[in-house]
Chains A and B, each alone.
Chain A
């Protein structure tokens, strides 16, 4: 067994006096796909944000590729190959769609490769291609989420933390994005999926972690949906 790519050990996190996450252990193997499930408010998004450094754990450690990354600033964690998407509608509103895609890609890969990747993004999300000259701030809510997803889907990191991908997206787009997630997984990207639509996540993940009131209620192989519902409902 090789060492896991991501390993959370005894992680606690919260906001002020509120404890959102209590003593969570979680591992994602290199190239693996783990779904983080549980009712709303169970702490799933907080775990995702701890991994990418957007929330600091109050106790416990997060290790990536054998190195402790908890406590590092988010941009340091990103540099090591962890991406978080979609971060709400995190686009640069006053830049065009094209600039939103091309600027970070150019910085990482140079102009020629950036142009190729930008075209890939348009092939994946044709609506973005049609609106490439439009200011990102004038896109609809769902289109802004597509733009923020497109950036990581064409330039896959080593670990992609996907938080509530389906939120506000039309069914046709959700299908498209999940296809692409399966592709980048084949190319070697590991996935940590936080998803309200359990069926979508189960289609791609080979193991699941169920959170309930901030604690791990189950970790292991995917369960049939009726057993999962029982776990969710038990949260009361």
Chain B
């Protein structure tokens, strides 16, 4: 069943057409790749889908309902989460605290900000939820370490964990493997696959590491100049001459 559907999404900035009539769909539990040259509009599309930006035209449907002008935090409550191109972790806080804050923010939405402050008792159910996500991502041994002490790859997993603890139906990942070497990328890909297998979650992924995209995504959508130039099964699309020219830079 279709979980997310974007129809005819268009976004302009001061006369520049960043997105032009873009369609994108993601089924429940599916992993869809979004690829394309730099400046093609990938991050802008993420921002339109997550509610950071409002499209000038087009609609975004989640579980068949039009998200309209729904704000970011309300979309989050419906089960839409994301990670960022640049890491957005809090220096000095431990891995466990990152997940705990995300868990509280999600469950106590609408409460006082002071509810998020990490003092006093941690409820056993909170601890269980945090531990479950840490275990799924292989982070149990790192739980009490401050995030500053982590490698880049582990930091990326913390970002993923912070998204997953809200039990989203859909996660947007913006370049989760950038800056990782081959070995780290393979590890994060494997962890992501394992976590995905255990959860009822769909993923839309922006990534330039084509090998990782091939491993993770059955289907990809290719943007160039704000338009969809190809979409379909990953292997077929990566063979498409227009995609090879615009994105892979390989000539026949």
Interface residues, chain A, with chain B CB atoms under 8 Å away: 39-41, 127, 131, 134, 138-143, 145-146, 164, 166-176, 196-198, 229, 232-233
Contacts of A139 in B (CB 8 A): 39
Given known A173-B249, A175-B249, contact A40–B38 (CB-CB < 8 A): no
Contacts of A172 in B (CB 8 A): 37, 246-249
Nearest chain A CB to B165 CB, angstrom units: 25
> Which residue, of A141, A167, A169, A174, has the highest number of chain B Cβ atoms within 10 A?
A141
The answer to whether the Cβ of B240 comes within 8 Å of any Cβ in the partner chain is no
Complex Cα–Cα for A134 and B208 (A): 24
Residues 42-78 of B, flagged 1 when their CB comes within 8 A of A and 0 if not, give 1100000000000000000000000000000000000
The answer to whether the Cβ of B16 comes within 8 Å of any Cβ in the partner chain is yes
Given known A171-B210, A232-B183, contact A41–B151 (CB-CB < 8 A): yes
Can you list 20 pairs linking A and B with CB atoms under 8 Å apart? A40-B181, A127-B39, A138-B14, A141-B85, A146-B38, A168-B38, A168-B85, A168-B175, A169-B208, A170-B36, A171-B247, A171-B249, A172-B247, A173-B37, A174-B249, A176-B249, A196-B181, A197-B181, A198-B181, A229-B183
From B210, which residue of chain A is reached at the shortest CB distance? A171
Complex Cα–Cα for A111 and B174 (A): 40
Contacts of B175 in A (CB 8 A): 168
In B18-38, the 8 Å CB interface with A consists of 36-38
The answer to whether the Cβ of B113 comes within 8 Å of any Cβ in the partner chain is no
Given known A170-B208, A170-B247, contact A127–B180 (CB-CB < 8 A): no
The answer to whether the Cβ of B184 comes within 8 Å of any Cβ in the partner chain is yes
Complex Cα–Cα for A233 and B42 (A): 34
Complex Cα–Cα for A175 and B179 (A): 17
The answer to whether the Cβ of B153 comes within 8 Å of any Cβ in the partner chain is yes
Given known A141-B43, A141-B85, A168-B38, contact A40–B179 (CB-CB < 8 A): yes
Interface residues, chain B, with chain A CB atoms under 8 Å away: 13-14, 16, 36-40, 42-43, 85-86, 151-153, 175, 178-184, 208, 210, 246-249
Complex Cα–Cα for A197 and B183 (A): 10
Given known A134-B16, A171-B249, contact A41–B152 (CB-CB < 8 A): yes
Complex Cα–Cα for A167 and B178 (A): 6
Complex Cα–Cα for A224 and B21 (A): 47
> Which residue, of A127, A139, A140, A145, has the highest number of chain B Cβ atoms within 10 A?
A140
Contact of A168 among B152, B182, B208 (CB under 8 A): B208
Nearest chain A CB to B1 CB, angstrom units: 32
Complex Cα–Cα for A233 and B246 (A): 35
Complex Cα–Cα for A166 and B210 (A): 13
Complex Cα–Cα for A173 and B180 (A): 18
Complex Cα–Cα for A127 and B39 (A): 8
Contacts of B246 in A (CB 8 A): 172
3 residue pairs, one from A and one from B, having the closest CB atoms = A142-B38, A172-B249, A140-B39
Contact B16 A40 (CB under 8 A): no
Nearest chain B CB to A121 CB, angstrom units: 15
Contact B181 A232 (CB under 8 A): yes
Contact B43 A140 (CB under 8 A): yes
Complex Cα–Cα for A171 and B178 (A): 12
Contacts of A167 in B (CB 8 A): 178-179
From B42, which residue of chain A is reached at the shortest CB distance? A140
Contact B179 A131 (CB under 8 A): no
Nearest chain B CB to A23 CB, angstrom units: 22
Known: A140-B40, A142-B208, A168-B175. 8 other contacts (CB 8 A): A40-B181, A40-B184, A139-B39, A140-B43, A141-B38, A145-B38, A172-B249, A196-B179
Nearest chain B CB to A45 CB, angstrom units: 10
Contacts of A127 in B (CB 8 A): 37-39
Contacts of A40 in B (CB 8 A): 151-153, 179-181, 184
Nearest chain B CB to A127 CB, angstrom units: 5
Contact A169 B38 (CB under 8 A): yes
From B13, which residue of chain A is reached at the shortest CB distance? A138
> Which residue, of B39, B42, B86, has the highest number of chain A Cβ atoms within 10 A?
B39
Given known A171-B249, A172-B246, A172-B248, contact A131–B39 (CB-CB < 8 A): yes
Given known A40-B152, A171-B248, contact A198–B37 (CB-CB < 8 A): no
Nearest chain A CB to B83 CB, angstrom units: 14
Nearest chain B CB to A79 CB, angstrom units: 30
Nearest chain A CB to B209 CB, angstrom units: 9
Complex Cα–Cα for A198 and B180 (A): 11
Contacts of A229 in B (CB 8 A): 182-183
